[in-house]
């Protein structure tokens, strides 16, 4: 009999990929994904450690699961904690939540079948030392041990994985930004060989993926072994290779580091029509002093030059970014420089955070921590500006025709929701038979977080250019 599996994913796109692959690993054991944890036989929380708030969520969710497990007849619910909190605080989780059966890190989930078998043998009676902990960094990468078959019915961010897929090509980070836990939770940088990536992309495309997002903590540091072993390929070349897969219409990549935007990758934005004109390029701060304290390895001027080169290569490219306010030592004048940079560059979308000191990172030990009140004030000012820019960007789409990948049903009867080349959600009325198609949509309204449109032409379109009217101009003059 099929067993019910619930996976809740926090954090970044890497975790989305890992969750999908966990489902693949567990499918041969009879586990099928269900929506919520209520009646599940196994629940996995795939966690994020990047900020304190993200990590705290795990313990509150575990409290809820404890009740569900106790209420389930026979108490047969395997509770597992995966991801970066598991990696960083595995033993602590088992101590604080002894009803947790399995704790495993991002590099060991290919061993889930053994862990599940051991958990079943151990039974569901809580007891000290009963929980299984596997947070190794194995010498052989997990990718070599993951199954080729893809689990059925999987959704990633509300969209069938069989339509818009994430594919991890690189993991880990050697850059050691002083605020960041990633080098500690995900380990050293590793790039998958080109052949392995291409083979997986082909499987995803054969399963129906039309859009693929290449992911990595530092995805543009990618340097995978070339096919037939001759040297290495960078990300630009990899994208060129993947564009040859006919069934794939759209390629994206995230998250990039400004220091690794090399010539070949910038050229790919000019040359590869399938590469979408939208790039997440975190800058973190607009102050050289702060960037240096963060050990980012670039100046504001360097970032501006990268943006200029990208825009020269692909004039319709839109940018998204991450910002941290209140990093130790950040003064009002530094923060004002961040606002200036935002005004000058113009972002279609962005994430901004108050600095959160993370145990084990250098930033947490810096003397001049910024009081929370100042962080809150700066965050509000920055978010107001970014929201304004996002609204202007969405408004600029009104009256244009865009290629929209129809991804899932909307809330209203007859409504479908799709994705624009710029990752905007587009709501429109369309027959269900068009789910999975790329259609031309005329944009009729731009809202804070989404667009509304109408079908410009009913027929599905196999074309790859992002907009029917050529390109989308920048919303920012």
What residues line the site for ligand 5AD (CB under 6 A)? 50-51, 179-180, 282, 284, 322, 324, 353, 355-356, 358
280 binds, among ligand 5AD, ligand SF4, none (CB under 5 to 8 A by kind): none
Minimum CB separation of residue 347 from ligand SF4 in Å reads 20
Of residues 6, 170, 217, 420, which one binds ligand SF4 by CB under 6 A? 217
Q: Is 152 helix (H, G, I), strand (E, B) or coil?
A: coil
Query: Is residue 183 within the footprint of ligand SF4 (CB under 6 A)?
Result: no
Minimum CB separation of residue 185 from ligand SF4 in Å reads 5
Nearer to ligand SF4, 216 or 224 (CB): 216
Place of tokens 């900020």: 51
Strand blocks (E) in 1-124: 3-9, 31-33, 42-47, 78-82, 102-104
Query: Is residue 182 within the footprint of ligand SF4 (CB under 6 A)?
Result: yes
Minimum CB separation of residue 185 from ligand 5AD in Å reads 11
Q: Per residue, what are the HEC states of 70-85?
A: HHCHHHCCEEEEEHHH
217 binds, among ligand 5AD, ligand SF4, none (CB under 5 to 8 A by kind): ligand SF4
Minimum CB separation of residue 259 from ligand 5AD in Å reads 14
- String of contacts with ligand SF4 for each residue 14-53, x by CB under 6 A: xx--------------------------------xxx---
Query: Is residue 290 within the footprint of ligand SF4 (CB under 6 A)?
Result: no
User: What is each CA distance from 271 to 111, 274, 344, 474, in whole angstroms?
Assistant: 41, 9, 27, 19
Minimum CB separation of residue 388 from ligand 5AD in Å reads 20
- CA–CA dist 213, 194 (Å, integer): 15
Minimum CB separation of residue 22 from ligand SF4 in Å reads 14
Compute the C-alpha angle 29/31/33, nearest 5°: 155
355 binds, among ligand 5AD, ligand SF4, none (CB under 5 to 8 A by kind): ligand 5AD
Minimum CB separation of residue 55 from ligand SF4 in Å reads 9
Q: Which residue is nearest to ligand 5AD (CB)?
A: 322
15 binds, among ligand SF4, ligand 5AD, none (CB under 5 to 8 A by kind): ligand SF4
93 binds, among ligand SF4, ligand 5AD, none (CB under 5 to 8 A by kind): none
**CB-CB contact of 432 with 409 (8 Å):** yes
What DSSP string runs through 263-329?
HHHHHHHHH-TTB-SEEE---B-S-HHHHHHTT-S--HHHHHHHHHHHHHH-TT-EEEEEEEES-TT
Binders in 68-107 for ligand SF4, by CB under 6 A: 83-84
Nearer to ligand SF4, 83 or 421 (CB): 83
Minimum CB separation of residue 14 from ligand SF4 in Å reads 5
Q: Is 185 exposed, middle or buried (0-12, 13-18, 19+ CB in 10 A)?
A: buried
**CB-CB contact of 243 with 251 (8 Å):** yes
Nearer to ligand 5AD, 15 or 356 (CB): 356
Element (H, E) at 380: helix 372-395
| Buried/exposed code over 163-175 (b: 16+ C-beta within 10 A; e: otherwise) | bbbbbbbbbbbeb
> Which residue, 444, 445, 447, 438, is CA-closest to 465?
438
Nearer to ligand 5AD, 10 or 353 (CB): 353
- DSSP β-ladder status, 438-446 and 401-409: antiparallel
- CA–CA dist 122, 342 (Å, integer): 55
Minimum CB separation of residue 366 from ligand SF4 in Å reads 20
Q: Is 8 exposed, middle or buried (0-12, 13-18, 19+ CB in 10 A)?
A: middle
Minimum CB separation of residue 403 from ligand SF4 in Å reads 30
186 binds, among ligand SF4, ligand 5AD, none (CB under 5 to 8 A by kind): ligand SF4
49 binds, among ligand SF4, ligand 5AD, none (CB under 5 to 8 A by kind): ligand SF4
**How many of the chain's residues bind ligand SF4 (CB under 6 A)?**
14
419 binds, among ligand 5AD, ligand SF4, none (CB under 5 to 8 A by kind): none
**Cβ within 8 Å of residue 476, ≥6 positions away:** 345, 346, 389, 392, 393
Which residues are at the interface with ligand SF4 (CB under 6 A)? 11-12, 14-15, 48-50, 83-84, 181-182, 185-186, 217
């Amino acid at each position: 009999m099929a067993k019910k599996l619930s996976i809740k994913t926090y954090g970044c796109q890497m975790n989305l990929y890992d969750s999908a692959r966990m489902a693949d690993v567990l499918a041969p054991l009879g586990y099928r994904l269900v929506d919520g944890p209520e009646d599940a036989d196994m629940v996995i929380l795939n966690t994020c450690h990047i900020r304190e708030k993200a990590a705290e969520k795990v313990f509150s969710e575990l409290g809820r699961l404890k009740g569900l497990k106790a209420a389930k007849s026979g108490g047969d619910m395997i509770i597992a904690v995966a991801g970066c909190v598991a990696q960083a605080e595995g033993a602590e989780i088992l101590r604080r939540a002894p009803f947790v059966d399995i704790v495993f890190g991002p590099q060991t989930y290919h061993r889930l079948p053994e862990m599940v078998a051991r958990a079943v043998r151990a039974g569901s009676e809580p007891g000290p030392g009963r929980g299984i902990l596997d947070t190794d960094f194995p010498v052989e990468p997990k990718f070599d041990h993951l199954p080729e078959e893809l689990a059925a019915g999987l959704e990633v961010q509300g969209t069938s994985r069989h339509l818009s897929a994430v594919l991890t090509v690189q993991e880990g980070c050697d850059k050691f930004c002083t605020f960041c836990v990633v080098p500690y939770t995900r380990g050293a940088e590793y790039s998958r060989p080109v052949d392995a990536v291409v083979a997986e992309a082909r499987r995803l495309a054969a399963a129906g993926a039309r859009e693929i997002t290449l992911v990595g903590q530092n995805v543009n540091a990618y340097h995978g072994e070339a096919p037939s072993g001759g040297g290495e390929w960078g990300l630009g070349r990899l994208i060129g290779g993947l564009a040859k897969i006919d069934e794939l219409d759209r390629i994206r990549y995230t998250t990039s580091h400004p220091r690794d935007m090399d010539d070949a990758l910038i050229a790919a934005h000019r040359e590869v029509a399938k590469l979408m004109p939208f790039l997440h390029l975190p800058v973190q701060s607009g102050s050289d002093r702060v960037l240096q304290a963060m050990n980012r390895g670039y100046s504001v001027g360097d970032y501006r030059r990268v943006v200029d080169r990208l825009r020269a290569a692909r004039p319709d490219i839109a940018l998204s970014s991450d910002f941290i306010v209140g990093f130790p030592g950040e003064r009002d004048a530094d923060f004002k420089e961040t606002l200036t940079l935002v005004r000058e560059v113009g972002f279609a979308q962005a994430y901004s955070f108050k600095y959160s000191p993370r145990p084990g990172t250098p930033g947490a030990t810096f003397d001049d921590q910024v009081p929370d009140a100042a962080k809150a004030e700066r965050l509000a000012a920055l978010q107001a500006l970014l929201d304004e820019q996002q609204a202007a960007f969405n408004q600029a789409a009104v009256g244009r025709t865009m290629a929209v990948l129809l991804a899932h049903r909307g809330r209203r009867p007859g409504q479908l929701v799709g994705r624009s080349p710029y990752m905007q959600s587009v709501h429109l009325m369309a027959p269900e038979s068009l789910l999975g198609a790329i259609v031309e949509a005329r944009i009729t309204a731009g809202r804070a977080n989404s667009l509304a449109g109408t079908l410009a032409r009913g027929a599905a379109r196999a074309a790859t250019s992002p907009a029917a009217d050529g390109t989308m101009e920048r919303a920012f003059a």
